[in-house]
Amino acid sequence: MKTLTLIWSILFSLPLSGQQPIDSRTREIVFRSVNIIPMDEDRIIENQTVIVKNGKITAIGTRLKHAADAEIIEAKGMYLMPGLAEMHAHVPPIDDIEPMKEVLILFAANGITTIRGMLGHPKHLELRTKIQSREILGPHFFTTGPSFNGMSITSPESGSEMVRKQKAMGYDYLKLHPGLSREKFDAIATTAKEVGIPFAGHVSFGVGVWRAIDAGYSSIDHLDGFVEGLVPGIEKMVEQQAGLFGMFVADRVDESTIPVLMKALAEKNIWVVPTQSLAERWFAPDFTPEKFMMDPHHVYMKPETVKQWSDSKKNLINNSQYDPEKIKSFISLRRKLVLECQRNGVGLLLGCDAPQVFNVPGFSTHHELEYLVQSGLTPFQALQTGTTNVARYLNQPNAGTIKPGNLADLILLNANPLLNISNTQKIDGVMVDGRWLSKSFIQGELKKLEK
């Protein structure tokens, strides 16, 4: 009897087959009979074989030879698309790498193969190295440094000094938060240009979107400053009157100035990360805490986080300036601005700011795609924001599309997302930097993360 128990416990402690990533550096991986969504244009190439070796797509065709010991993925009727990027991600800014790994798994499990961390920490530089060396499994990782805001920056000089320091430390971007005066912002922007580090994020109320565009933000996130920039006489108001992202002044917008804003953004090549999902879930009156609890993904957040989110929503609704009808118009105005960006050639990047109110890392990136389509983008255009647009933004010609020679960052789907954007959530497997995460591996990892 004892022996039997021992055998059972040994059996169950071994990883079941398919429950470890398969690395294309040690073994060729072949997708058979798959429909490819190459993302070079709005099309599908049906019934193809795709071979991946050493982290790259090496061949695509119908009669290809592969290694005898190749890992074969039977994908008849399935769809293979490039991995998605989340350009406004958050990785815990703490000294401990362990909790960071959980977030990385949530992203990878959702087919997010590139992330840009938007609140940096020195430990993230180590994390970036460990992901690159494949010691830690996770999406390609870019990171800002710690926040520039009204509190962390005490003078224009301290702003310049922090820019130089973060550049020297090796951060990829600077993260700007609210509260910067015009003088502090100018010093930061000038020094950033001088030393060659891009800055991104919020637009401080005292800076305003027009100055932000002129200064050459790398990306403006949350559409921050857009609404305020369209309100005549905004300079006579105080920040609290406008509310976060201008939510309390949306009814005062002069819509005839929208084309001027779009032209300025396009001319200065300013990229935009709408994080519409944040606005729809945090601000909209009809997205209630109860609605969030019906979202099966809430299990990946700690109960205390969910409580904070609910409290934050309640606080907002209890604000004397909060008028549900006006907020609904504000959300519609934001959707309109997203569509105008698309129509006017302003580059949109996919991002949703999880884990912020009612947005679970990884899963919420797919909600953002749905909100982009609800804003008027076609499914193909929405997918571009997380694939080809990102490759252009990051200057990575070998990413964002499926073709021989490109990085093997892929999502295998059970249904066609060009027909229905929600189909990006029907994931059968993910390839991150040439490592294949099967459905059973993903399910096993997600199970471990339930709270």
Pair 207, 150: CB distance under 8 Å: no
Q: Pick from 370, 349, 271, 424: which is nearest to 114 by CA?
A: 349
Give min distance, CB of 353 to Zn ion, in A: 4
Pair 244, 357: CB distance under 8 Å: no
Q: Is 368 in the site for Zn ion (CB under 5 A)?
A: no
Total residues contacting Zn ion by CB under 5 A comes to 2
Q: Is 86 in the site for Zn ion (CB under 5 A)?
A: no
By beta-carbon proximity to Zn ion, the closer residue of 71 and 353 is: 353
Q: Is 224 in the site for Zn ion (CB under 5 A)?
A: no
Amino acid, res. 124: H
What character string, x for contact with Zn ion (CB under 5 A) and - otherwise, covers 101-120? -----------------x--
Amino acid, res. 395: N
Give min distance, CB of 90 to Zn ion, in A: 6
What character string, x for contact with Zn ion (CB under 5 A) and - otherwise, covers 288-327? ----------------------------------------
- CA-only gyration radius of the chain, Å: 23
Give min distance, CB of 245 to Zn ion, in A: 12
Give min distance, CB of 440 to Zn ion, in A: 33
Q: Pick from 119, 197, 131, 114: which is nearest to 400 by CA?
A: 114
Peptide linkage before 355 cis (omega within 30 of 0): yes
Give min distance, CB of 175 to Zn ion, in A: 8
Q: Is 234 in the site for Zn ion (CB under 5 A)?
A: no
Give min distance, CB of 269 to Zn ion, in A: 22
Q: At what angle do helices 208-215 and 258-267 cross, to 10 degrees?
A: 20
By beta-carbon proximity to Zn ion, the closer residue of 79 and 226 is: 226
Q: Is 279 in the site for Zn ion (CB under 5 A)?
A: no
**Cβ density class 281-317: b for 16+ within 10 Å, e for less:** bbbbbebbbeebeeeebbebbeeeebeebbeebeebe
Q: Is 340 in the site for Zn ion (CB under 5 A)?
A: no
Which residues have a Cβ under 8 Å from the Cβ of 2 and sit 6 or more positions away?
none
By beta-carbon proximity to Zn ion, the closer residue of 36 and 352 is: 352
Q: Is 353 in the site for Zn ion (CB under 5 A)?
A: yes
**In which element (H, E) is residue 394 found?**
none
By beta-carbon proximity to Zn ion, the closer residue of 172 and 353 is: 353
Phi-psi region of 73 (alpha: psi -120 to 50; beta: other; left: phi over 0): beta
Give min distance, CB of 120 to Zn ion, in A: 11
The residue sitting closest to Zn ion, measured at its beta carbon, is 353
Stretch of 25-33, 177-185, 349-357, 399-407 contacting Zn ion, by CB under 5 A: 349-357
Q: Pick from 163, 185, 177, 171: which is nearest to 143 by CA?
A: 171
Q: Report the interface residues with Zn ion, using CB under 5 A.
A: 118, 353
